[in-house]
Chains A and B, each alone.
Chain A
Amino acid sequence: MKLLVCIKQVPDQESRFEPDAAGVWYSETDVAFRMNEYDEYAVEQAVQLRENLGEGAELTVLSIGPDRVVEVLKKALAMGCDNAAHILDNDASRKDPWQIASIISSYAEDKGFEIIFAGMQSQDRCSAQVGVTVAEHLGFACTTTIVGFEYANGMITVRRELEGGMKGVVRLPPPALVTCQLGLNVPRYPTLPNIIKAKKKEITVIPVADLLSEEALVATTGFYPPAKKCGGIVLEGDVAELVDKVFVILKEKTAVLR
């Protein structure tokens, strides 16, 4: 059984985001990149399934982006993916979710994948579109925001997370795509022996031009911080002074200390 997991490299979310020269996305200066958090759960679930299936199963990890995305591909290989596809695109951040999905589906089209894992959303773009759109392009069954996954007797059974803590239990047949939510599992840390083993695994590089045929459907015209809500104050400085200030505020503004 062939499996695919799609991962995106995103900035560490504690980074300071500054607009790029065009003012439509963040500048990459001083930004540290890591694996999209949702995708870590996707990789872990895919690896667990791959381990359960044993011989004959093959798990590919895919990422679209510039050279730096090799880092997250290596991490996914060290977590247990068998091989990687790096779709080399220096301009990936300019593509809209429709184009990213089209690139993934053109890659996947003729490879015979039966289950595809994606993250529920990317932390930087937050569109929650790519996974479902890939499924539509490929004609796969699809469900989203899963917090439980089981594959048995040729059927996939998942728990979908709904609002207010309720869940929905859903069953679907392969070929299928699922999008993974936080808390689905506990993503493993790659161990040193696995990191070394992963060095031998193959990373195929494919130029994006070979796969992209779609135009963007959405344009970004601005990138900026949220308008500050007035009223709130920001306190900075020495901890002892901060404590004194907060103590006074709590006394004046709340009933807690009365």
Chain B
Amino acid sequence: MKILLVGEYRDGRLLNSTYELVGFAEQVGGDTVMLLVGSETQLPLYSGTLYLADATVCGEYNPDMHKRLILEVVQKENPDYIVFLHSSYGWDLAPRVAAALGAAQLSEVIALADGGFEVGCCSAKMRRTIKPLTNRAVITIQAGAFAAVQSEGGFDLHKVSAEGAGRVSFLAYEPAEERAVDLAKAEVIIAVGRGVGKKENMPVISALAKAMGGELGASRPVVDAEWVAHSQQIGTTGQTVSPKLYVACGISGAIQHLAGMKKSEFVVAINRDKDAPIGEVADVLVVADVMQFVPALTARLSN
């Protein structure tokens, strides 16, 4: 078994998520090689064969070019699996590589399963076991699902490069928006989800936050709908928090949301759906209508 790991690099930095690929490969077992489009000044703590392309030449986001680099390494190494993070880099590139190779693609793998791989489905409420029907497979792994593994052994470095340009041109990065409140420091967070219903219901949640002395956080749809400021979003594309108490009001518990709050010490979730995946991380799941339960709890706390 040979596994090609495609590392991640952004804005001049090697991303730590790269090491989760190594953790995945250790669980599968087999030899690994790594390809990184990055820089010699930011080499990974990895032992094995490392193919390195220069990001200043090949671009940090240049899918046509990166695809060609990967295919070149695939030709040399003949890997059984080609593995990416399921990230803005990985989900963009993996299907291109799979299509070029006519290989099966398995997206957002969370675990190895009997006879295949486990993936989430139905907004993380359910799981599937899937397996490739081709000899070679392209796999993306869920961020955070496999423990990061670093090794000091040193590597055998091969420099690679690709010719030509790509059709997609990268123009610039835009930094994340300024944060009015640093939720990362908050001890109590009351988070609002779409289950709160409408913007007009927000004062009910704010009142609970006030009664508990907490800050308001939110899931993404609530931010998109402008019920709260963007800086209050919690999750992969927002902030990562670890308060002593996290109260999730009408939040389903999508993986991208959980990624931002699962380190909270104590989680209370209020949801009318008993099967909502937030239940997986909640210490207490209150099956109720937020608009009935929250005001009643606020009243009790204020007494």
Contacts and interface: CB of A to CB of B under 8 A. Distances in A.
Interface of A: 11, 13-14, 16-17, 24, 26, 96-98, 123-129, 132-133, 136-137, 141-145, 157, 159-173, 176, 182-183, 215-226, 228-229, 231-236, 239-240, 242-244, 246-247, 249-250, 253-257
B95 A133 contact: yes
Report whether over half of chain B's contact residues are helix, strand or loop; otherwise say mixed: mixed
Contact of B287 (A142, A161, A166, A235): A235
A126 B284 contact: no
A143 B92 contact: yes
A16 B286 CA distance: 18
Q: Top 3 closest A-B pairs, CB basis?
A: A165-B176, A183-B224, A136-B99
B98 interface: yes
Interface in B97-137: 98-100, 102-108, 113, 115-116, 119-134
A243 B170 CA distance: 52
B185 to A, nearest CB: 16
B296 interface: yes
Given A13-B125, A221-B129, A231-B283, A126 B87 contact: no
Contacts of A183: 220-221, 223-224
A218 B106 contact: yes
Given A219-B130, A239-B296, 10 more contacts: A126-B123, A160-B61, A163-B88, A169-B170, A218-B133, A229-B280, A239-B293, A243-B296, A247-B297, A247-B301
B88 A160 contact: yes
Contacts of B91: 128-129, 132, 144-145
B199 interface: no
A242 B88 contact: no
Given A143-B63, A243-B297, A247-B300, A97 B168 contact: no
Contacts of A164: 176, 236-237
Most B Cβ at <10 Å: residue of A26, A137, A233, A246: A246
5 contacts: A165-B177, A219-B130, A222-B129, A228-B279, A235-B285
Interface in B195-234: 212-214, 220-221, 223-224, 230, 233
Contact of A172 (B122, B167, B296): B167
Contacts of A162: 10, 88, 173, 237
Contacts of B233: 165
A13 B122 contact: yes
B236 to A, nearest CB: 6
A161 B99 contact: no
B61 A170 contact: yes
B285 A132 contact: no
B282 interface: yes
A240 B299 CA distance: 11
A233 B233 CA distance: 26
Contact of B126 (A97, A172, A224): A224
A217 B238 CA distance: 35
